[in-house]
Amino acid sequence: MNATTARAAAIAGAQGLALALMALTGSIILFVLTVVSLALVVAGVGVFTTPVVLRLVRAHADFRRRLAGQWGAEPIPARYRPLPRDARTGVTGQVERCVHMLRDPATWRDVQWLFVDLTAGAVVAVLGPGLFAQGLFGLLLVMGLWVPIVSAGGTHWFTFVPVDSWSTAGAAAMVGAGLIGIGIKVNPLLVRTHFRIAGSMLAPSRAELAQRIGRLTETRHDALDSSAAELRRIERDLHDGAQARLVAVGMNLSTVEALIERDPAQARELLAQARATSAEALVELRDLVRGIHPPVLAERGLGDGVKALALRLPLRTEVDVELSGRVDAPVESAAYFAVSEALANAVKHSGADRIWVDITHADGSLRIAVTDNGRGGASLTAGSGLSGVERRLGTFDGVLAVSSPVGGPTMVTMEIPCELF
């Protein structure tokens, strides 16, 4: 045994003790609170308490997921459905929030994990530090600790060794040293086993993963089709617009070369036409580039890009951005055009006079909510603009949800997993 192995075992023992304490305190308390809160849903009180308790459960589970990556080198993925959020107030109806969280399969995985964590998880976690503690106690017995213990209560059983003399205390010390040796060997394995148990409960099920893979495959195909259609559109716009105008400029310049000496006046007129045509071609090229990737988005990021969009709208639009960095350019572009489509739908179809856009990043996901105070009735029907947005976001494993009761308001919520940099 070398120093590195002993150090790793000691660290694993401390980690096991911490995990056991978290399981026997946090998991027990949260499990009891969850069960009581769910029972009170029938009485109406639980509608208000359950979302709060479940948020605490998610925070507890997310912390353990992070520890799984840091201590067990086996990160556990989180897959919660995005919560509906009103961009104006930051809250939504308590009943809607409660129902939404209870319908999320990840919620019930968390609750099941709490029970497993406070039982099997705690036992596995405490075994490591327990072996060390018991082994250390055996070594203390041979140092004379057995004397007052036996004097006070008679023969003391240390595991399977009856201790009542110096010789039996020596035997207990040897057993204790063996327990410490076992702990050094198995402590890191016990910590990994604890996180494997947690991962089996907290990670998405195979059915969910298969559904997710199927959706990703479908959205990848949609993305390829959309890219091909976009390339055809760009080619058509270039051919029918800027390219035709640039050809006309070239023809005018050729004519100018022939007329520059014979008819200077007509040459100047053709030069003026060529200048105007080139200016129109430049405008068309700028519009085309803006449709592909707006300069403000590339230069200043998603927040300022959406604010620039809002300034061009005929409706009063408030944009609230809370981002501490930027996301990758493909995600940024997808989010920008998704917001653009949602805003265009609100202007054309909602009959609203105000729009709110809220952009945040939390828990490893970019979250965007576009809300209007219009007549409502929006849906994710096939062929609609919002269904196109859903396919665009699906390319990045993103999701889109629409809440639009008749009479309004309409809230379009988007979530894309990504990191800020």
Band of the pLDDT at 364, cuts 50, 70, 90? confident
On the question of pLDDT at 72 being above 60, the answer is yes
Q: Calculate mean pLDDT across residues 246-262.
A: 72
Q: Do the beta carbons of residue 369 and residue 335 sit within 8 Å?
A: no
Query: Higher model confidence: residue 81 or residue 181?
Result: 181
Q: Give the tokens for residue 188.
A: 């890191």
- Highest mean pLDDT, choosing among 5-9, 87-91, 235-239: 5-9
Q: Residue 396: what pLDDT?
A: 80
Band of the pLDDT at 319, cuts 50, 70, 90? very high
Q: Residue 88: what pLDDT?
A: 40
Band of the pLDDT at 90, cuts 50, 70, 90? very low
Cα–Cα distance, 390 to 273 (Å, whole number)? 45
Q: Residue 91: what pLDDT?
A: 44
Candidate from 98-112, 280-294, 333-347 with smallest mean pLDDT: 280-294
Cα–Cα distance, 4 to 334 (Å, whole number)? 48
On the question of pLDDT at 232 being above 70, the answer is no
Q: Do the beta carbons of residue 168 and residue 176 sit within 8 Å?
A: no
What percentage of residues in the chain have a pLDDT greater than 70? 81
On the question of pLDDT at 108 being above 50, the answer is yes
Q: Calculate mean pLDDT across residues 214-229.
A: 59
Q: Calculate mean pLDDT across residues 145-155.
A: 80
Taking all residues of the chain, what is their mean pLDDT, rounded to a whole number?
80
Band of the pLDDT at 356, cuts 50, 70, 90? very high
pLDDT per position as a tens digit, 2-51: 677 888 888 888 888 999 999 999 999 999 999 999 999 888 888 889 98
Q: Which CATH number fits domain 299-417: 3.40.50.150, 3.30.360.10, 3.30.230.70, 3.30.565.10?
A: 3.30.565.10
- Three-state SS for 386? helix
Q: Calculate mean pLDDT across residues 267-275.
A: 76
Residue-range domain boundaries for the chain: 3-202, 206-292, 299-417
Residue 307's Cβ-count burial label (10 Å; 0-12, 13-18, 19+) is middle
Cα torsion angle, 389, 391, 392, 393, sign: positive
Query: Higher model confidence: residue 168 or residue 294?
Result: 168
On the question of pLDDT at 225 being above 60, the answer is no
Q: Kindly report the length of the chain.
A: 421
Cα–Cα distance, 128 to 12 (Å, whole number)? 8
Q: Calculate mean pLDDT across residues 330-348.
A: 86
On the question of pLDDT at 89 being above 50, the answer is no
- Highest mean pLDDT, choosing among 151-155, 315-319, 326-330, 361-365: 315-319
pLDDT per position as a tens digit, 183-220: 888 888 888 889 889 888 888 766 666 666 666 666 56
Q: Residue 1: what pLDDT?
A: 56
Residue (of 131, 162, 163, 114) closest to 12 by Cα position = 131
pLDDT per position as a tens digit, 298-313: 788 898 888 988 888 8
Cα–Cα distance, 253 to 250 (Å, whole number)? 5
- Highest mean pLDDT, choosing among 293-302, 392-401, 406-415: 406-415
Q: Calculate mean pLDDT across residues 250-254.
A: 73
